Amino acid sequence: MVDTDFFDVTGQIGQLWIFPIKSCAGIAVQSARLLPTGLEHDRAFMLVDARGEFITQREIARMVLVQPAIEGGVMTVTAPGMAPLTVDMAFTGPERRVRVWDDHVPALQAPDAINAWFSQFLQKECSLVRMAPQAQRLASKKWTRGADAPTQFADGYPILVVSQASVDELNERLTQGGHTVVVAHRFRANIVVQGFQSHDEDRIEALAVHQGEADSRQWLDLPLVKPCARCPIPDIDPATSQSGTSVTDTLQTYRHDDRLDGAVTFGMNAIVPAGAGGLLRVGDRVGGALQFD
């Protein structure tokens, strides 16, 4: 068995999630290739309006009901009341300029029939895009310690990490307040860690993930660089698209983070060291060394 005595906290990957289309439903996977931009296929596509502005659940909650599935180079998309949609993931354009937060990047637009499907379901004119091959979007170097950290259409960083214990603590507080418990993937994290104590992810410098066979001594470090400030999306039920306020209201009582000037945070954004490569699997051992101020 691999030696983990050199870590202050240890656990394992309990869940892995990819979200191929930004702000649409995710896919729970048993393994995922790790690319410099994050998990393979994660936030590789985005929906934009007629002006090229990105669209999220913040404006259209029913995006969470759009469910992609990937096999080979084909993405099949389903949604209530709609015929299944087949998307060739290598569609070639035309090229257009799109915006995600403060970044403007060149992107390739899907064929008209695909865009019409999304426009019909979301009841808003929109287009599916993927990044153009020459595009590069980097996470803020203010938080990456000067490292170049490319990402695709994620809000800002390649990977998001939360611990199940953090979700469990939130659920205890929700229950005490008479509210319904929530599932971890409301927070749209890529890695859900089991075995940590609540919010241990806040307190370690990097998430070390074991690689290879059980007796391997190889570890892959994912630096945890920035707390994730929370928007109202975790208040949207991924099964129904109904919105509430209980998650945000409850987090407001205990999750103000001085590192972000008192913003409510939950989970940690991670970057992928250049050339790290590797494969992440549910069940992989993880660990970290606690930071002390």
Q: In the structure, what pLDDT confidence band is assigned to residue 248 with cuts at 50, 70 and 90?
A: very high
Average the pLDDT over 87-92 and give the result: 97
Residue-wise pLDDT for 147-198, tens only, equals 999 999 999 999 999 999 999 999 999 999 999 999 999 999 999 999 999 9
Q: Does residue 1 lie in a domain region?
A: no
- What's the domain range around 73? 9-288
Average the pLDDT over 272-287 and give the result: 89
* Average pLDDT across the chain, whole number: 95
Q: What integer pLDDT is reported at residue 1 of this predicted model?
A: 47
Q: Does residue 116 lie in a domain region?
A: yes
Cβ–Cβ under 8 Å, residues 218 and 212: yes
Q: What integer pLDDT is reported at residue 276 of this predicted model?
A: 67
CATH number of the CATH domain containing 159: 2.40.33.20
> What CA–CA distance (Å, rounded) separates 207 from 228?
15
Q: Above pLDDT 90, what percent of the chain?
A: 92
Residue-wise pLDDT for 210-227, tens only, equals 998 888 888 999 999 999
Please, which residues have CB within 8 angstroms of residue 283's CB and are 6 or more apart in sequence?
12, 13
Which pTM does this prediction carry?
0.96
Residue-wise pLDDT for 5-56, tens only, equals 789 999 999 999 999 999 999 999 999 999 999 999 999 999 999 999 999 9
Q: Does residue 229 lie in a domain region?
A: yes
| Count of structural domains within the chain | 1
Q: Is it the case that residue 277 has pLDDT exceeding 90?
A: no
Q: Does residue 52 lie in a domain region?
A: yes
- Specify the 3-state DSSP secondary structure of 193: strand
* Residue 289 Cα to chain centre, angstroms: 23
Q: Which range among 94-103, 176-185, 272-281 shows the weakest confidence by mean pLDDT?
A: 272-281
Q: Does residue 2 lie in a domain region?
A: no
Q: Is it the case that residue 89 has pLDDT exceeding 60?
A: yes
Cβ–Cβ under 8 Å, residues 84 and 22: no
Q: In the structure, what pLDDT confidence band is assigned to residue 257 with cuts at 50, 70 and 90?
A: very high
Q: What integer pLDDT is reported at residue 2 of this predicted model?
A: 56
Q: What is the DSSP letter of 96?
A: E
Q: Does residue 224 lie in a domain region?
A: yes
Q: Above pLDDT 70, what percent of the chain?
A: 97
DSSP 207-272: EEEEESSTT--EEEEEEEEEEEE--SGGGB-TTT--B-SHHHHHHTTT-EEGGGTTEEEEEEEE--
Q: Does residue 293 lie in a domain region?
A: no
Q: Does residue 3 lie in a domain region?
A: no
Higher pLDDT, 59 or 217: 59
Average the pLDDT over 138-152 and give the result: 94
Q: Is it the case that residue 65 has pLDDT exceeding 60?
A: yes
Q: What integer pLDDT is reported at residue 275 of this predicted model?
A: 63
